[in-house]
Structure 1
Amino acid sequence: MACTFIRLAGCPLRCTYCDTPQAIPFDSGEWMQIDDIVTDVQKRNRPLVLVTGGEPLAQRHCSELLSELLALGCEVQLETSGAYPLASLPVGVRRIVDLKTPGSGEAERNRLDNLSCLCAGDEIKMVLTSRADYQWAAAMIEQHRLGQGDVPVLLSAAWGSLKAEELCQWMLDDRLPARLQLQLHKVIWGAEATGV
């Protein structure tokens, strides 16, 4: 689906597989006012807007931006590490929570209380670096009964660390209630392309 992608700078996490290190510094990118972002989104006139980072919830005015985007009448998604509380986000924002696996180096940042805030239209994502991460993810799915309701679980192989075909086979063998997610932008434009 055509999507306007808004990347907010700044991230306090240091995931081992981060594919956007240029977004880690809080002073990276281009400073923009919320009104200017909204105007740009209106000009693009796409049915979906995704706000990501860095870690977007590390930005003080992220909720305000999300509210303004919702007012445009398009679908608004927020991709977050889940290291920040989700309960106070504007109603209508679809949340994609990236549970951090042990291989990310940031698993201790997971706020598992965020799982109870998720509802239909939200998603849980886990990026896996190894078989050990897969086993951790399978245990999380079972322990928290993930993927059994209206909130799908998406498993993604960390680019350069785990082959998607291996992950796919493990999921098939275990009949895991999760979807395989590929980083399509890397498949289409190549792993080094940015801004696509």
Structure 2
Amino acid sequence: MLKVNEIFYSLQGETSRIGLPTVFVRLTGCPLRCGYCDTAYAFNEGVPLEIPAILEQVASYRPRYVTVTGGEPLAQKECPALLASLCDAGYSVSLETSGALDIGKVDARVSRIVDIKTPASGEVDKNRWANLALLTPHDELKFVICDEADYVWAKQQLLEWRLNEKCPVLFSPVAGDLRPADLADWILRDRLDVRFQLQLHKLLWREDRGR
């Protein structure tokens, strides 16, 4: 049994899968409180569903791609079982996780999109650095950048941990706080081997839920 906030069909707005039609399974609950969080409604709202009921709803959209997100999906102990069941059903599955919890129990078929929380997020002390050793080229790391100080810090982690040798690395500006062109200019100036990204769903639909 898992507590599910929403299940919806939309275009993937982030990661290397950006633009792909995707079913999103948003699970309820998160132990973090990032200052820029745009899904606070998922902290508590949701209904309990068994994995077969979740699979039935997902199948109704006839998708190829499925993303399990939150909140923080790994905060629910049955999340790895859900991910494995989605893979068994033949979907290409990705997991969006805060990086604060152990990703080691996630099925190897899942593409793990792991955040590294920056100082301005307010949750930098929650980063589980041990997760870095578990990453494969099938996974991705994401930095959400609030300001120039965040960028400098993220660049330091990128170089110190040689992160782009582990998997693709994404740098994304906080919507409404950091001008996207500024982040793009810094990346180009410093010749960083990262992927700049904007949240496509916010460009298309602003702040609508279920998008």
Distance 1:165 1:29 in 2: 37
1:86 is displaced (CA, Å) by 1.1
Report the AA paired with residue 11 of structure 1. C
Partner residue in 1 for 2:210 = 195
Equivalent positions of 1:5-20 (< 5 A) are: 5-20=24-39
TM-score, normalising length from structure 1? 0.95
- Matched position secondary structure for 1:50: strand
- Once the two structures are superposed, residues 90-121 of structure 1 have per-residue CA deviations (whole angstroms, 9 ceiling, x without a partner) of 22111000110001000101011101101122
TM-score, normalising length from structure 2? 0.89
8 Å contact kept, 1:104–1:129:
yes
Distance 1:99 1:42 in 2: 32
* Partner of residue 127 from structure 2, selected from 85, 89, 110: 110
Identity of aligned residues (%): 46
Report the AA paired with residue 177 of structure 2. S
Distance 2:189 2:131 in 1: 29
- Once the two structures are superposed, residues 25-75 of structure 1 have per-residue CA deviations (whole angstroms, 9 ceiling, x without a partner) of 2xx123222111111112211111000000000012101111110111111
Report the AA paired with residue 153 of structure 2. W
Counterpart check, 1:143 vs 2:184: no
Counterpart check, 1:40 vs 2:57: yes
- Once the two structures are superposed, residues 171-190 of structure 1 have per-residue CA deviations (whole angstroms, 9 ceiling, x without a partner) of 00000111111110010112
1:131 is displaced (CA, Å) by 0.2
Partner residue in 2 for 1:155 = 171
* Partner of residue 99 from structure 1, selected from 96, 113, 116: 116
- Matched position secondary structure for 2:156: helix
Partner residue in 2 for 1:131 = 148
Report the AA paired with residue 116 of structure 1. A
- Off by >4 Å, runs of 4+ in structure 1: none
Counterpart check, 1:85 vs 2:102: yes
1:124 is displaced (CA, Å) by 0.1
1:10 is displaced (CA, Å) by 0.3
Distance 1:122 1:60 in 2: 21
8 Å contact kept, 1:81–1:100:
yes
- The alignment's C-alpha RMSD in Å is 0.9
1:81 is displaced (CA, Å) by 0.7
- Once the two structures are superposed, residues 129-173 of structure 1 have per-residue CA deviations (whole angstroms, 9 ceiling, x without a partner) of 000000010000000001135x11001101111011110000000
Report the AA paired with residue 172 of structure 1. L
Report the AA paired with residue 194 of structure 1. R
Partner residue in 2 for 1:2 = 21
- For structure 1, the 5+ residue unaligned runs are none
**Structure showing the higher strand proportion among its residues:** 2
